[in-house]
Amino acid sequence: MAKSNTARIARAEPDRPVKPKVQPADLDRLIHERVRLAIVSALAVRESLTFNELKALLKTSDGNLSVHARKLEDAEYITCDKSFEGRVPKTEYRLTALGRRALERYLDHMEALIRATRAR
């Protein structure tokens, strides 16, 4: 004989305040990608980093780093200054105020997701 859902429905949850739901879909997709998150995080703790410093730190290829850095630059999360030291080109990145706020919002969102998951 099949069980009825009546018993389950009858035992409704006690009244609890409804917490705002934190949705993973609300994450900043621009920062959420691994290499871009690493770039922004590294720049959050250093005033600036050169292309070669970031490449070594993240252990990534020139092409991969430049594509991800360009996306962050287009969003105005980082700035890119190109210069020469002698005849050697030097590319230096800095986190903008907008980028820092975006990272802080991202981290707050991740912390809220973690708290919501642990509360279950």
The domain that holds 96 is classified in CATH as 1.10.10.10
Contacts of 62 (CB under 8 A, 6+ apart): 51, 55
For 61-77, what is each residue's pLDDT tens digit? Answer: 999 999 999 999 999 99
Does 104 map to a domain? yes
For 29-86, what is each residue's pLDDT tens digit? Answer: 899 999 999 999 999 999 999 999 999 999 999 999 999 999 999 999 999 999 999 9
Write down the pTM of the prediction.
Answer: 0.77
Does 87 map to a domain? yes
Does 70 map to a domain? yes
Number of domains in the chain: 1
Domain of residue 67 covers 26-118
